[in-house]
Amino acid sequence: MTAILTLFMGGFIVASTKWAVDMSLFRTKTITTHQWAPEYGNLTLSATLVAENEVMLNVTFSCTAYVNQPGFVWTLSVSNSSIPNYKHLPEGLELVEGTIVIICSCPIPDGFLSLQAKLRAIADGKWVVYGKFSASHGPGFSISASTDGIKITVSNGNIVQLEKALYPTSPPAQQPSDQTEQPPISPTH
Q: Report the CATH number at residue 105.
A: 2.60.40.10
Query: Is 87 strand, coil or helix?
Result: coil
Assigned domain for 181 exists: no
Higher pLDDT, 175 or 151: 151
Identify which has the larger pLDDT, 25 or 150.
150
Q: What is the pLDDT of residue 105?
A: 84
Q: Which residues contact 57 (CB under 8 A, 6 or more apart)?
A: 45, 46, 47, 78, 116, 117, 118, 119, 129, 131, 150
Q: Is the pLDDT of residue 53 over 50?
A: yes
Q: Establish if 4 belongs to a structural domain.
A: no
Residue 1 falls inside a structural domain: no
Tell me how far CA of residue 31 lies from CA of 2, 25, 39, 175, in angstroms: 48, 14, 25, 27
Percent above pLDDT 70 for the chain: 70
Q: Which of 130, 131, 133 is nearest to 169 (CA)?
A: 130
Which pLDDT score, from 0 to 100, does residue 45 have?
94
In the structure, what pLDDT confidence band is assigned to residue 70 with cuts at 50, 70 and 90? confident
pLDDT of residue 48: 96
187 lies in a domain? no
Cα–Cα dist 71/143, whole Å = 14
Residue 186, domain member (yes or no):
no
Q: Are the C-beta atoms of residues 53 and 159 closer than 8 Å to each other?
A: yes
Task: List strand residue ranges (DSSP E) for the chain, in order.
Answer: 30-37, 41-51, 54-63, 73-79, 93-98, 101-105, 112-121, 125-136, 142-146, 149-155, 158-165
Between 108 and 12, residue with greater pLDDT: 108
**What is the reported pLDDT for 69?**
74
- Tell which wins on pLDDT, 123 or 17: 123
What is the average pLDDT score of the chain? 76
pLDDT reported for residue 171: 39
Domain membership flag for residue 15: no
The DSSP code for 147 is P
Residue 107, pLDDT > 90, answer no
DSSP conformation class of 15: H
Number of neighbours of residue 51 by Cβ within 10 angstroms: 14
Q: Is residue 80 part of a domain?
A: yes
Q: Is residue 111 part of a domain?
A: yes
Look at residue 183 in the predicted model and tell me its pLDDT.
35
Q: Which range of residues forms the domain containing residue 67?
A: 27-165
Compare 25 and 58 and report the one with higher pLDDT: 58
C-alpha span between 100 and 178 (Å, rounded): 21
pLDDT band at 92 (very low <50, low <70, confident <90, very high): very high
How do strand 158-165 and strand 149-155 relate by DSSP bridges?
Answer: antiparallel
**Closest-CA residue to 35 (of 187, 141, 166, 137):** 166
- Asked whether the beta carbons of 175 and 86 are under 8 A apart, the reply is yes
Number of domains in the chain: 1
